[in-house]
Amino acid sequence: MSVLDAFLKADTNLENDVYIKRLDTHIRIKAIGDEKFDELKEQATHFTGTGKNRESVFKEDEFTNLLLIESCVNIDFGDSKLMEKHGVKSAEACLRKALLTGEILRLQSAILSLNGFDDDSELFDEAKN
């Protein structure tokens, strides 16, 4: 098969299931495009100071939250019942209350792998910047 044929046959609408043992359920994740990835990076980048002292600060935790919320297909962390159960007012806070740290890391790793990062943290760090 030629490289062109491989690109023509390739599907970018990738999805996968991640099993969460504690909940005895699968969370369906999807790959996101470059445009959405950049949008999430922008949302997680904040500016401090003014004029010459203006600096951008990338908040990795915020980016992870946004990435998971965007990529998880079969759970809405902004669902009012779920947010009420956890006593929070945002999808980001709900995500952090509903999942354990290891579960968040497992989902993050699976999402990055599905998006072609394949557990290479250097590639991910490069993409963030």
Task: Determine the residue type at 111.
Answer: I
> Torsion over CA of 96, 28, 34 and 12, rounded to 10 degrees?
170
77-97 confidence digits (pLDDT tens)? 999 999 999 999 999 999 999
Record the pTM: 0.83
How many alpha carbons lie under 13 Å from residue 91 in its C-beta half-sphere?
A: 15
For residue 27, the SS3 value is strand
Distance CA 129, CA 122 (A): 11
Q: Which residues of the chain have pLDDT under 50?
A: none
117-128 confidence digits (pLDDT tens)? 875 555 555 555
